[in-house]
């Protein structure tokens, strides 16, 4: 049972796709005392396991098959060649690359070298770099029943006992599991003018289990980039990890918080000469009302509201902060642009900004639509009286080294009494695209710890 299902059951509601029907399982299981043919173990349910990755967006990374009886290979190894997996997407059918196969007690992948343990699930891991591994284009792909699995060879124990017999019958997936994303609820907010914003919301476990408790939690508001403007209420979570990383279990254990991820609808609001989305007056007004409404209806610590955004979302941060200079405790803005003349009103707000020097989409100095990029904004902020602590390093460093550079920059800022940090990434070091500077930002524990240390 997933965390989301457990909470829903506790609340007395019914959820759908990930709940296994135990009555069906009992009916399909072998009757007590009746002999069963070797390898006969009926399939009950099949689910795709997907993952939101830092750089490659949303990918299908495994298939989890639930069987009626536990699978125990007694220390053996299941060869990947025993299973064939085919993806049928956009009218095209092509094979996926199987990398590992193992039993498990849950429908989840296992990162350990000795993966899995005897259980009712068989996990078939797939190469995330396959050309057809994607789970979304502009909108999420229709993944239900899109994958076919065939067992083409028997699975036996090292002693030769049959565990799962090959079959000419193929199975298709019934469900799609996306860890962390599945823990966000979907909603919408209509402001006082009638303008509607869809949103996704993660609620911390402590609040879900005890809604009436006195505890108050920080609120992280994430502003997506221009590519996620849509009507699907999904890609603001799956196109990148800006919201998901704040909700993953290890992050929530360290920093329990509400995570609010609104999505700008189509058709794209394009009011004003800036040509961007979060700066559109209708969108900005609805966003402010949504934040205000949420903070009065949930146990939010009003002194710990954080703004996080990338690209057009970072532009939204630089546009909103001067209009609400006493609302937010801190901000993370990646690959943004804005108006230098407004920087004098936000010199007191802690910020950590970053940008690739060779960004061709939002140029580091020149920005977009006549509004300068992060380098120019940080200069303006410094001219207005803020102390800006700057660092430059490669964006493709290993995580430990990347965080060591960030920690050194933070220590230098603290010694200088600075609450504004600016990281520049050396040209040619940001993988996939120089614009995707955010891939390491939200995985960076040093930056996230710094953010949650800030209080208004």
Structure tokens at 378: 């940080």
Closest to 174 in 3D by CA, of 84, 65, 249: 65
- Whole-number Å distance between alpha carbons of 131 and 322: 43
Q: Is the peptide bond before 267 cis (omega within 30 degrees of 0)?
A: yes
The residue ranges of every structural domain in the chain are 3-177, 181-453
pLDDT at res. 235: 95
Q: Find all residues with CB under 8 Å of 57, minimum gap 6, and list them.
A: 134, 135, 136, 238, 239, 240
- Whole-number Å distance between alpha carbons of 49 and 56: 15
Structure tokens at 277: 């989305």
Q: Give me the residue label for tokens 């993953």.
A: 248
- Whole-number Å distance between alpha carbons of 64 and 126: 11
- Whole-number Å distance between alpha carbons of 268 and 336: 19
Structure tokens at 69: 């009886």
Structure tokens at 256: 């329990």
- CA 175 to chain CA mean position, Å: 19
- Whole-number Å distance between alpha carbons of 119 and 102: 10
Please name the fold of domain 181-453. Rossmann fold (3.40.50)
User: What is the b/e burial string over 410-442, where b = at least 16 CB atoms within 10 angstroms of the residue's CB?
Assistant: beebeeeebbbbbbbbeeebbeeebbbbbbbbb
Distances (CA, A) of 36 to 29, 31, 33, 162, 163: 10, 9, 9, 12, 12
Q: Find all residues with CB under 8 Å of 394, minimum gap 6, and list them.
A: 425, 426, 429
pLDDT at res. 16: 31
pLDDT at res. 8: 38
CATH class entry, domain 3-177 = mainly beta
pLDDT at res. 90: 84
Beta strand 185-190 with 196-202 is: antiparallel
Q: For residues 252, 255, 258 and 260, what is the CA-based torsion angle, rounded to 10 degrees?
A: -90
H/E run at residue 87? strand 83-89
- Whole-number Å distance between alpha carbons of 321 and 79: 55
Q: What letter does residue 81 receive in the DSSP assignment?
A: G
The pLDDT profile of the chain, 456 residues, written as one tens digit per residue, is 444 443 333 333 333 332 223 333 333 344 444 444 566 899 999 999 999 998 889 999 999 999 999 999 999 999 999 999 999 998 899 999 999 999 999 999 999 988 999 999 999 999 999 999 999 988 999 999 999 999 999 999 999 999 999 999 999 999 999 999 999 999 999 999 999 999 999 999 999 999 989 999 999 999 999 999 999 999 999 999 999 999 999 999 999 999 999 999 998 875 566 767 899 999 999 999 999 999 999 999 999 999 999 999 999 999 999 999 999 999 999 999 999 999 999 999 999 999 999 999 999 999 998 899 999 999 999 999 999 999 999 999 999 999 999 999 999 999 999 999 999 999 999 999 999 999 999 999 999 999 999 999
- Whole-number Å distance between alpha carbons of 26 and 49: 25
- Whole-number Å distance between alpha carbons of 54 and 66: 29
């Amino acid at each position: 049972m997933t965390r989301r299902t457990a909470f829903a059951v506790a609340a007395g509601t019914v959820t759908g796709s990930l709940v296994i029907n135990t009555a069906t399982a009992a009916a399909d299981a072998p009757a007590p005392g009746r002999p069963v043919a070797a390898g006969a173990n009926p399939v009950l349910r099949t689910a795709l396991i997907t993952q939101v990755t830092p750089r490659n967006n949303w990918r299908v990374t495994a298939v989890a098959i639930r069987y009626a009886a536990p699978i125990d290979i007694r220390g053996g190894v299941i060869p990947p060649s025993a299973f064939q997996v085919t993806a049928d997407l956009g009218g095209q059918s092509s094979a996926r690359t199987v990398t590992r196969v193992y039993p498990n007690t849950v429908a989840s992948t296992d990162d350990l070298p000795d993966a899995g343990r005897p259980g009712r699930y068989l996990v078939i891991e797939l190469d995330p770099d396959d050309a057809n591994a994607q789970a979304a284009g502009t909108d999420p792909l229709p993944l239900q029943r899109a994958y076919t699995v065939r067992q083409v060879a028997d699975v036996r124990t090292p002693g030769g006992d049959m565990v799962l017999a090959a079959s000419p019958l193929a199975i298709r997936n019934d469900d799609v599991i996306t860890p962390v994303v599945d823990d966000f609820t979907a909603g919408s907010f209509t402001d006082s003018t009638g303008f509607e914003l869809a949103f996704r919301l993660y609620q911390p476990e402590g609040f879900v289990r005890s809604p009436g408790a006195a505890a108050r939690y920080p609120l992280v508001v994430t502003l997506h980039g221009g590519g996620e403007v849509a009507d699907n209420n999904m890609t603001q979570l799956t196109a990148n990890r800006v919201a998901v990383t704040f909700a993953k279990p290890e992050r929530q254990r360290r920093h329990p918080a509400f995570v609010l991820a609104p999505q700008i609808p189509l058709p794209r609001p394009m009011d004003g000469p800036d040509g961007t989305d979060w700066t559109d007056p209708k969108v900005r007004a609805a966003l402010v009302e949504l934040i205000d409404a949420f903070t009065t209806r949930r146990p939010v610590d009003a002194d710990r509201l954080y703004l996080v955004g990338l690209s057009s979302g970072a532009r939204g941060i630089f546009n909103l902060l001067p209009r609400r200079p006493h609302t937010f405790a801190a901000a993370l803005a990646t690959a943004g642009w804005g108006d230098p003349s407004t920087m004098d009103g936000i010199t007191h707000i802690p910020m950590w900004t970053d940008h690739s020097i060779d960004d061709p989409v939002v140029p580091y100095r020149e920005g977009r639509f006549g509004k300068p990029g992060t380098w120019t904004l940080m200069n303006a902020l410094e001219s207005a009286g803020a102390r800006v602590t700057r660092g430059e390093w490669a964006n493709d460093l290993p995580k430990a080294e990347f965080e060591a550079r960030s920690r050194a920059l933070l220590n230098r800022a603290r010694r200088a009494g600075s609450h504004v940090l600016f990281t520049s990434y050396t040209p040619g070091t940001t993988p996939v695209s120089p614009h995707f500077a955010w891939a390491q930002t939200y995985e960076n524990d040093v930056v996230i710890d710094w953010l949650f240390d800030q209080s208004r």
